[in-house]
Amino acid sequence: MAYGPKIIEHYEHPRNVGTFGTSAEVKARPDVGVGLVGAPECGDVMQLQIRVNPDSGVIEDAKFKCFGCGSAIASSSLATEWLKGKTIDEGLAIRNTQIVEELDLPPVKIHCSVLAEDAIRAAIADYQAKHAGVGTPASSSAKH
């Protein structure tokens, strides 16, 4: 696969790799939302975690982990960069097409950007569910 320079750059130097704790710890943290999308059989799993300031509603930090191809890694890396400093609503406004454009994803890799958008929505939904006080959020098996 011949990738453009932006994908290669993110793949070689992924931003914001990591988590805000073990799966049990992040589940217990009210300021963290977790999105886990994709499936191992499909060759892509993205995990996106956001840390939100409850007073301002601003996403202060974001971390990702990704099992997937170079495009999937680059898409999720870019998503964390874009999320930082955005409000929840601004985060929800991010579209996969913007990721495609920014990274110059080849057509066969569009699904990676879709997955990244799904991960953003899942992480935000998880955070919101925690705050609506709706029991345990379905963070470890986010549907999309």
Partner 1 sequence: MASKAPIYLDHAATTPCDPRVVEAMLPYFTQKFGNPGSRNHRYGWESEEAVDTARAQVAALLGADEKEIIFTSGATESNNIAIKGGAYMYEKAPAGSASRGHIVTTILEHKAVLDPVKRLMKEGFDATFIEPGPDGIITADLVKAALRPDTILVSVMWANNEIGTINEIPAIGALCHEKDILFHTDATQWAGKMPVNVEKDNVDLLSMSGHKIYGPKGVGALFVRRRRPRVRLQALVDGGGQERGFRPGTLNVTGIVGLGKAAQIAKDEMDKDATRLLALRKHLEQTLVTRLDSCAINGHLEKRLPHITNVSFGFVEGESLMMAVSEIACSSGSACTSASLEPSYVLKGLGVGDELAHSSLRLSLGRWTTKEQVDHAAERIIASVTKLRTLSPLYDMHKEGIDLSKVEWAKH
The distance of closest approach from Cβ of residue 19 to partner 1 in the complex, given in angstroms and rounded to an integer, is 7
Element holding 59 (H helix, E strand)? strand 58-67
Whether residue 116 contacts residue 46, with contact meaning beta carbons closer than 8 Å, is answered with yes
Eight-class DSSP state of 30:
T
Instruction: Collect all residues with Cβ–Cβ distance below 8 Å to 43 and sequence separation of at least 6.
Output: 68, 69
Active-site option among 12, 21, 23, 42:
42
By CB under 8 A, residue 39 contacts partner 1? yes
Nearer to partner 1, 46 or 94 (CB): 46
Residue 42 annotated to the active site = yes
Q: Which of 69, 59, 15, 56 is nearest to 33 (CA)?
A: 59
107 is an interface residue for partner 1 by CB under 8 A: no
Out of 32, 46, 52, 83, which residue is the one contacting partner 1 (CB under 8 A)?
Answer: 46
| Per CB under 8 A, 126 contacts partner 1 | no
The smaller minimum CB distance to partner 1, of residues 41 and 89, is found at: 41
Catalytic residue numbers read 42, 112
